Every structure is written in C-alpha cells, then in structure tokens.
Amino acid sequence: MDKQRMIFEIDRRSVTEGDVVEITWQCEGAEKVTLTIDNGFRATDIPLEVSGNKRFRLNRSKGKTHMTIAVTTQGKVHRKTIDVRVKKLPTVKAETVDPNGKRVGFLNAWWQKVLTNWHNVDAKLKLAMSTLPEGKQVIVKLMALVGVLLIIGAIWPKLYGATLVVLIVVLAVGLLKK
C-alpha cells in the first residue's frame, strides 16, 4: 500500500485545550494499523481497525499534538502525520466576594484566611490540651509562654531583658499560686 491509497484525515487542525477532534482513516489491505498521539509530554499508541473514525479530546499539549497513523502491509510500514495546533485555555482570575456579592479586597480576604486557619489551629490545640492531665497542662502553657518570649527576644534583642523579667514574674506567680 502506498501513501496515495492511505486515507487519514482530521476534522480540525487548530483547537483549544479540551476540544474534541475526529479522525477518519481507511487503509484497505493493511495487516496492522496504529495511531500514535504525541502531545509533547508523552506519546500514546492506539491500535486501530483497518478503517473507521474516532474522537479524541486534546487536553494538554506543548503547542502541537502530532497524530501519526502507521500502516503495516507486506512487512513495510507507511506513516502519515497530521499536526494539530493546541492553544492554551485562557487563565481565569477569581475574586473573593462577600455574601452580598461585593468584591473583597486582598487584605480583607487574606485576613479572613488567617482567622480561619487560626480558628482551626486553636480548636486542635484545645482538643489536645483537654486530653492532658491538669498538671501537664500548666507545664505546656508555661513552655509555650517561654517559647513565645524567647522568639520575641530573638526578633527584638532590645526587648530580651524585658522578656526575661516577664518570664520570671510569670514563674513566680505560678509558684505562689500553688
């Protein structure tokens, strides 16, 4: 079979990501027919009947998808390639809106996200603390306070002395309460 007798057609040569293309082929007398779809990321081989049509969704591509039909007759392989230009989908930018449909500014949306995350962390910490005995809860709270004071002292070295004084006062009050 020569290339003139091999029919391989596609309905569109330019699509947008996610569009469907339909191929039609006819290779009378072929022993084996294979379609290779190469989108630039990977190539996939699909065995085909001697003639027919199929639809394919072209989701991802590096700009061009090569569709190659390989026909084997009498031990010889004949190939025909059709290139399909695949345009990227436009990027959609979403905005946050309040329940009334009013746009929420970046800082407000960021702050809402911070508050939501804080409430999640706070709930998990309270649950973890409730599982500890009372004596260990006090120790964990003191360790957390010491950690916060050390971080403040490391960030603002001028406050380091003040953080140590606060730490000593808290420990003294804790001892006097017992």
**pLDDT at position 32, please?**
93
Reference 58, options 20, 91, 88, 84; nearest CA is 20
Is 123 in the same domain as 52? Answer: no
Give domain status of residue 140, yes or no: yes
Give the whole-angstrom CA distance, residue 141 versus residue 56.
Answer: 61
Q: Which residue, 7, 55, 44, is CA-closest to 29?
A: 7
Could you tell me if 111 and 164 lie in one domain? no
Per-residue pLDDT tens over the stretch 93-143 = 777 777 887 776 767 777 878 888 888 888 888 888 888 888 888 888 878
pLDDT at 102: 75
Contact 39, 65 (CB under 8 A): yes
Q: Identify whether residues 15 and 74 lie together within a single domain.
A: yes
Please indicate, yes or no, whether residues 24 and 41 belong to a single structural domain of this protein. yes
- Report the pLDDT value the prediction gives residue 2, as an integer from 0 to 100: 54
The list of the chain residues with pLDDT below 50 reads none
Number of domains in the chain: 3
CATH classification of the domain holding 51: 2.60.40.1930
Do residues 29 and 68 share a domain?
yes
Is residue 23 domain-shared with residue 36, that is, in the same domain?
A: yes
| Residue showing tokens 């971080």 | 151
Same-domain pairing of 124 and 149: no
pLDDT in the model for residue 20? 94
What pLDDT is attached to residue 57? 92
To the nearest 10 degrees (0 to 180), the angle between helices 134-155 and 160-177 is: 170
Q: Are residues 80 and 152 in the same domain?
A: no
Residues 142 and 121 in one domain: no
Sheet containing 43-48, strands listed edge to edge, beginning at the edge strand earlier in sequence: 14-16, 76-87, 64-73, 32-38, 43-48
Q: Is 89 exposed, middle or buried, given 0-12, 13-18 or 19+ CB atoms closer than 10 A?
A: exposed
Give the pLDDT of residue 151: 85
Yes or no: say if 17 and 61 are a contact pair by the CB < 8 Å rule: yes
Q: Which residues form the domain of 141?
A: 133-178
72 & 28 share domain: yes
pTM beyond cutoff 0.75: no
Query: Which pLDDT score is estimated for 51?
Result: 93
Same domain? For 78 and 27 the reply is: yes
Q: Residue 70: what pLDDT? A: 94
DSSP classification of residue 44? E
Residues 6+ apart with CB under 8 A from 74: 31
